Chain A
Amino acid sequence: MEVTKAFAALSDPTRLAIVTRLAERGEVDVMDLVPDFPISQPAISRHVKVLEESGWVTRRKVGTRRPIRLAPGRLDEIIVWSGRLRATLRANYARLDDLLAEKDIPE
């Protein structure tokens, strides 16, 4: 379910924009993001927390600063839209749907 959770986190436009900013800038303080958004710093922090919990963002401690950055490897995740393996699995699972729908047939 990790992947589903990760992509659900990006379904919010603010969070998608934060991820885009981090991809451009590397490591930033949350305060540095504030001028870019029409919402308050606590609201941005809440979005950052969701991104941390879903694995998109990591945070480290540097003195009193807590800068954030994209988690390594996260952007390596690529959705596969085509290919024989995908086509095969789709066809298989459509047939499995039909089989599972046969609730009234005794085994």
Chain B
Amino acid sequence: MNRMTMVMSGETDLVVTRRFNAAPNAVYDAHLNVEKVRRWMLGPEGWTMPSCEMDPQEGGTFAYTWEDSASGERFTIRGHFVRLDPPHRIEHIEAMEMPGMTTPESRVVTEFAKDGDGTVMTMTITYDSAESRQGAVESGMEEGMAWSYDNLDRMVSA
């Protein structure tokens, strides 16, 4: 099983690692191909992605909008690509826009390393401050935990 790890590193970084059973170019492409992104970057269960715009080139912008089908609540992640090094590395800047507030920008470096017949992805998110990182990690904590436990239930009863 390919497990995800999420670790706070230093003052402002959050490091996420995950292995995939596909070559780096396939995983890289799935991050920059708008048709593919719409199929997997959907967020928690019950959310949809009504809008996904992307200009996958250095300096190009992107904007992903999610909507909770139950409440109608929406948020958008908007940013631009700083550096693209296919199929090894994507560097971008992003900020999250919610009704009434926009988070400070964070810098995201996503690296894809060949690992046997698969790929190990390491995503390093650098927030503008330790407070911003804490906010990002803790947002919807209870909801996230409930969701994880639902998943665990399904896993152990399968």
Chain A residues in the interface with B (C-beta under 8 A): 1-4, 7, 73, 76-93, 95-101, 103
Count of interface residues, chain B, beta-carbon cutoff 8 Å: 43
Q: A1-B113, A78-B8 are in contact. List 19 more A-B contacts (CB 8 A).
A: A3-B17, A3-B122, A7-B5, A76-B9, A76-B10, A84-B139, A85-B144, A87-B140, A87-B143, A88-B44, A89-B6, A92-B40, A93-B20, A95-B40, A96-B20, A96-B30, A97-B20, A99-B40, A101-B22
Query: In the complex the two chains form, what is the Cα distance from A100 to B121 in whole Å?
Result: 14
Query: In the complex the two chains form, what is the Cα distance from A81 to B39 in whole Å?
Result: 25
A–B Cβ pairs within 8 angstroms, 14 of them: A3-B9, A7-B5, A78-B7, A78-B8, A80-B7, A84-B139, A84-B140, A86-B144, A86-B148, A87-B143, A90-B4, A92-B43, A97-B2, A100-B22
Chain B residues in the interface with A (C-beta under 8 A): 2, 4-11, 14-18, 20-22, 26-27, 30, 36, 39-45, 113, 120, 122, 136-141, 143-145, 147-148, 151
